[in-house]
A = this chain, B = another copy of it.
């Protein structure tokens, strides 16, 4: 059955995005809104109010996720959509927030244009995804929904400024002992709309993408040790210079990802040299590798090439190298049936689209533990995110929400 045309009001979309962005506004277009902060309280209150105004049942769960429900006529599991309401410090108006707004707008439009669905549809604003206050929060909001927060986690998740997330929860009236109550086992489908955060749609001249997988991510922390010595008195040929080894390794890792080609990416983002003085051959170089591929087998091959290169260079140069894996997320494929549905309805809504993998992590990969998932990307200006410069046009956002709403309609009506 072809999806009906769905009307989305651009003015309401723009108004809601801008009003939500006022909570934690930084300068003209920035937003700094960490979980459980006063700005976050303001934003969640605003979201709950907007859901209520749209005629949705509002529920705030045990970790502070806000749900707006449109009840269905059957007892079947819910179809849900949303994203996180926290931001980088500062980030922009769109990363996360746009997915929460899009879900609200889509459910409101479905209710107004098609009435009560068969299956319950829910819009959600997850409390936390960015790790911008608690570096090891690890998808606190959506992880609570999947029931994968361990009993001691609230004491182990520590803010950059030292407090535990348990303390932060208590300060906003939430009881960490009740986190398990946020678990849901009655959601069958989850569709997240998010800005692309990359330039692929812009370069393709398309407003929207259907996401068929979230890439696998591994972070290594490596340490190369050599022998610290005087930069003048030690001949080149007898040095054990870890910076020379690091430079060759970093070049090699990056070149490997280039050779493998899209969608492989490898980034060396953090480097710490010791002692870090101009006139001293360093004693050691600590560095990170962020390497991603959405295909499980290609990902393993990429990591094996990276590890072989590090071993080979260090051995040849007489340097000690050691590394550990700090983060290791398996690729998260989208549900093929939902992807097909979204591809179909996008065509029916007349929205030009492409299909791609997400290079960034998202709440959807957590939700995949309890539901079938897929995502919709909206074009990002210059591919920017995690900055006040991030921008998506209202036209592109409306196109994305029409695909989302049509997808929810197909799943729930």
Contact = CB atoms under 8 A, between A and B. Distances in A.
B273 A385 contact: no
B270 A278 contact: yes
A383 B229 contact: yes
Given A250-B243, A251-B248, A232 B265 contact: yes
A233 B271 contact: no
A200 B237 CA distance: 11
Between A199, A230, A261, A292, the greatest number of chain B beta carbons within 10 A of the residue's beta carbon is seen for A230
A268 B278 CA distance: 7
Contact of A234 (B230, B235, B265, B278): B265
A235 B265 contact: yes
A386 B276 CA distance: 14
Interface in A171-202: 196-200
Interface string A225-259: 00011111111111001011011101100100110
A203 interface: yes
Number of copies of this chain in the oligomer? 2
A241 B199 CA distance: 15
B251 A219 contact: no
A276 B272 CA distance: 9
Given A269-B273, A279-B219, A360 B290 contact: no
A237 B262 contact: yes
Contacts of A265: 231-232, 234-236
Contact of A276 (B198, B247, B262, B269): B269
A372 to B, nearest CB: 23
Nearest to A248: B251
A278 B359 CA distance: 14
A129 to B, nearest CB: 13
A332 interface: no
Interface in A291-326: 292, 326
Nearest to A264: B236
Contact of A270 (B236, B264, B277): B277
B277 A232 contact: no
A387 B228 CA distance: 10
Given A247-B251, A248-B251, A276-B270, A383 B219 contact: no
Nearest to A252: B247
B254 A241 contact: yes
A16 to B, nearest CB: 24
A230 B217 CA distance: 13
Nearest 6 CB-CB pairings of A with B: A198-B233, A232-B359, A247-B250, A231-B267, A278-B288, A197-B233
Given A232-B360, A234-B359, A235-B359, 8 more contacts: A199-B235, A219-B279, A232-B361, A247-B247, A267-B278, A269-B279, A269-B281, A279-B290
28 contacts: A197-B233, A198-B234, A199-B238, A200-B233, A215-B232, A228-B387, A229-B383, A231-B265, A231-B267, A232-B265, A233-B358, A233-B385, A234-B265, A236-B258, A236-B262, A236-B264, A244-B251, A244-B268, A246-B250, A247-B250, A247-B268, A251-B251, A269-B277, A269-B278, A269-B280, A271-B273, A271-B276, A279-B290
